[in-house]
Structure 1
Amino acid sequence: MEIFMVGGAVRDALLGLPVQDHDWVVVGATPEALVARGYLPVGKDFPVFLHPETREEYALARTERKTARGYRGFAVHAEPDVTLEQDLARRDLTINAIAAPSKTQSAKTGFDTAFEPDFSALIDPFDGQKDLRDKVLRHVTGAFREDPVRILRLARFSARFPDFSVAPETMALMQAMVAEGEVDALVAERVWQELARGLMEDTPSRMFEVLRESGALQKLLPEVACLWGVPQPAAHHPEVDTGVHLMMVLDMSAQLEGSLAMRFACLCHDLGKGATAADVLPRHIGHEARSAQLLKDVCERLRVPVECREMADVVAREHGNIHRSESLNAASLVRLLERCDAFRKPQRFAEVLLACECDARGRLGLQDSPYPQRTRLLAVLAAAQAVDTHQLAMEAQAAGRGGQQIGEAIHRARVNAVQAAITDTGQLPQTAP
């Protein structure tokens, strides 16, 4: 039995990056042999085991043969005769198909207690180290085409390693897979999983650029794909192209270290601009409502988590009003807070404002511009939150008023509190335009 460190752990170690997860492959063993050494079987589709001490995953070397369209129809062969090179050949990218043998093994307690990879004796049958040096994402073999999830994974790696290019033959292969309908077989959960991970990388725009070039974006997110080529007024958007703007917004969301929900909101905030009638371009009157409607379709199709879809809905509907909030009076400001559910969910509202800042700064030449709306609206919220709603409710109930009247009283008190803050600071306009 031989044990090797493989995959992303080797790749990241060679790049000098922190290694988050260790992946191990076992050659020349049977499930029974691992169980006898204390390993715990956990794999459903193929033999994977947890180390009895470290709880890291160890997989038997295996080969795979596709038996149906999509990614779930595979016949797996995991026997002691499967070689390390055969196992590496089924992997997606050359940079993920490098193995390091274990340097030390101990059998004091009846199983291997620890393994230390030997990076001086790497096994690299597909020249992954060269591609690491050349900064190229290249598929290992034609087996890449058997799993459409690999298109999403490669796009995600592009977001993680934005200075890496996609090998021309790999891009051509992905385009062929899209044309053959392989992407159509992807299930929502896997698509969302990879998109979410890519959104959390440092340069999420690269993921969408690669998906767009491969043709997969048009299949998976046509509402996003159609934004390229849609013009906007140059006075407000010097970059003009809506798709270009969206990519700048996404990268700004990463720069400001936004949450997944905030970054997803940035992705979907301008979907409605792709549905603007041609005869009114480059203006996009009412695109906020169209964005919110299209967002519903995206969230249903991809089964987006509730937290992400709710924040995206607020940003889609209200980002224009938040941008214009400097011109709103006290009553309009409180109504904006109410529509954003800011009193019940103040932390989410803070992230909504951050998404709007990304929208404002994700424009050519405006990346370093201030966004005073965020600070001001947080101050407005604080002033309105200072109202003692419990006391107001008690007084209204004592006077025999019902729920609607109590709500109206709380609303008026919040408006008065915001107006008082405006009067004291002189920083906000007294009347709406």
Structure 2
Amino acid sequence: MSDSLYRNPLARIVTSPGEILVRVAAAAAGPTGEVDAEMRALMARQVAAGELLDMNPAWIWPDFAAGLMRDAPSKMLWVLRETGALRYLLPELDALFGVPQSADDPPTVDIGEHQLRVVDAVARQHAPLAVRFAALLYNLGKADSPPEHLPSHYRHMERGAPRVEAVCARFGVTAEVRELALLALREVERVHRAAEMRAGSIAALLERVDAFGQPERFARLMTLCACDFHAFPGRATRPYPKARLLATALEACRGIDPAALQEDHADDPEAAAQALLEARAMAVARALRSERWDDSAQEEAAAD
């Protein structure tokens, strides 16, 4: 695990009860880790006694991150939830349990339980810490969706963004971890909606997530999207269709030289950007044998 993803606190003489509690829970995420009933009861009593009330979250981050990097992070998170500690450490995640999300069969799933399946799925892919942390956060805005809309979650990204920001600030994570968490919040569902008949939208998505400038980050986003898809019941062994679709689109766009288009529109950066998007949309359309733009994009272009 890369040390660059940690902000270890300065060495301290005293280890807080919260650190010990998280360290015990994190051990459960290992291949042979277990926390027996007696220990869980003791941890629950400590939480109930207020041992976590004055805890500095940054102090427990190294142990929490270590648990995320183990084989089955969900085991750590279940221990924290069952002992009541998750309400103090990650109340935004704890609030997702019991909230329904649309699915296939059964028609709904519990979002909290789903997030724990996702984090285990990314662990099986040996994903780095940034992906595992993002796996816990991209649905935070769904905790308080209006009951009349459930199991749909309108505008959850707007509600979720300040929560993701708050969690990242609380633990003092690095910019790399924070940026992927926010990207996942904005883009996971948009990636799921990508359709081969919408080449213009696909090109715009690739530009928006900077797939060309940050291919490694884009690959991490796609890993998370695939794991989200596979975490739903009945999908574990099904191929994730958007992975191949976007890989084909990205490869098609690599044949376009942005510098040449910028040179052609040297005096108009906006025109250069539009020309590049047009060229990428055409390349995607040829690769996918689809329309250059979807209907909404055509209407926007006509309005301009």
TM-score bin, normalised by smaller chain: 0.7 to 0.9
Structure-1-length-normalised TM-score:
0.62
Residue identity (%):
36
> 1:256 corresponds to which letter in structure 2?
Q
**Alignment deviations for residues 242-299 of structure 1 (CA, whole Å, 9 cap, x no partner):** 1111111111111122111111111112111112112221222232333333211111
Between Structure 1 and Structure 2, the one with more helix by share is 2
Partner of 1:360: 229
Q: Would you say the 8 A contact 1:288–1:320 is kept in 2?
A: no
Judged with a 3 Å threshold, the aligned counterparts in structure 2 of structure 1 residues 44 and 299 are, in CA distance, closer, same or farther, namely closer
Tell me, in whole angstroms, the C-alpha distance in 1 between the residues paired with 2:106 and 2:126: 23
Of 397, 401, 407, the residue aligned with 2:273 is 407
Structure 1 stretch displaced more, 331-340 or 414-423: 414-423
SS in 2 for 1:240: strand
Partner of 2:23: 153
After TM superposition, where is structure 1 displaced by more than 4 Å over at least 4 residues in a row?
43-46, 236-239, 428-431
Of 152, 157, 174, the residue aligned with 1:305 is 174
Judged with a 3 Å threshold, the aligned counterparts in structure 2 of structure 1 residues 45 and 305 are, in CA distance, closer, same or farther, namely closer
Greater RCO, 1 or 2 (C-alpha within 8 Å, sep 6+) = 2
Q: Would you say the 8 A contact 1:155–1:210 is kept in 2?
A: yes
**Alignment deviations for residues 111-138 of structure 1 (CA, whole Å, 9 cap, x no partner):** xxxxxxxxxxxxxxxxxxxxxxxxxxxx
Identify unmatched segments of 5+ residues in structure 1.
1-42, 47-70, 73-145
2:138 is the counterpart of 1:269: yes
**Alignment deviations for residues 179-216 of structure 1 (CA, whole Å, 9 cap, x no partner):** 22221332232222122111111101011100001111
Q: Would you say the 8 A contact 2:164–2:182 is kept in 1?
A: yes
Of 267, 271, 294, the residue aligned with 1:432 is 294
Partner of 2:282: 416
Partner of 2:62: 193
Of 220, 227, 233, the residue aligned with 1:351 is 220
> 1:153 corresponds to which letter in structure 2?
R
Deviation at 1:338, TM superposition (A): 1.8
Structure-2-length-normalised TM-score:
0.86
Q: 1:21-420 maps to which residues of 2 (within 5 A)? A: 71=14, 147-161=17-31, 164-235=33-104, 240-326=109-195, 329-397=198-266, 401-420=267-286
Judged with a 3 Å threshold, the aligned counterparts in structure 2 of structure 1 residues 236 and 385 are, in CA distance, closer, same or farther, namely farther
SS in 1 for 2:102: coil
> 1:169 corresponds to which letter in structure 2?
E
Q: Would you say the 8 A contact 2:160–2:185 is kept in 1?
A: yes
> 1:432 corresponds to which letter in structure 2?
D
Deviation at 1:312, TM superposition (A): 1.3
Between the two proteins, the alignment pairs up a number of residues equal to 286
Deviation at 1:385, TM superposition (A): 2.4
Structure 1 stretch displaced more, 413-422 or 266-275: 413-422
Judged with a 3 Å threshold, the aligned counterparts in structure 2 of structure 1 residues 44 and 230 are, in CA distance, closer, same or farther, namely closer
Deviation at 1:431, TM superposition (A): 5.5
Deviation at 1:220, TM superposition (A): 0.9
Q: Would you say the 8 A contact 1:232–1:281 is kept in 2?
A: yes
Judged with a 3 Å threshold, the aligned counterparts in structure 2 of structure 1 residues 272 and 327 are, in CA distance, closer, same or farther, namely farther
Tell me, in whole angstroms, the C-alpha distance in 2 between the residues paired with 1:248 and 1:381: 29
Tell me, in whole angstroms, the C-alpha distance in 1 between the residues paired with 2:176 and 2:12: 31
Q: Would you say the 8 A contact 2:195–2:202 is kept in 1?
A: no
Deviation at 1:430, TM superposition (A): 5.8
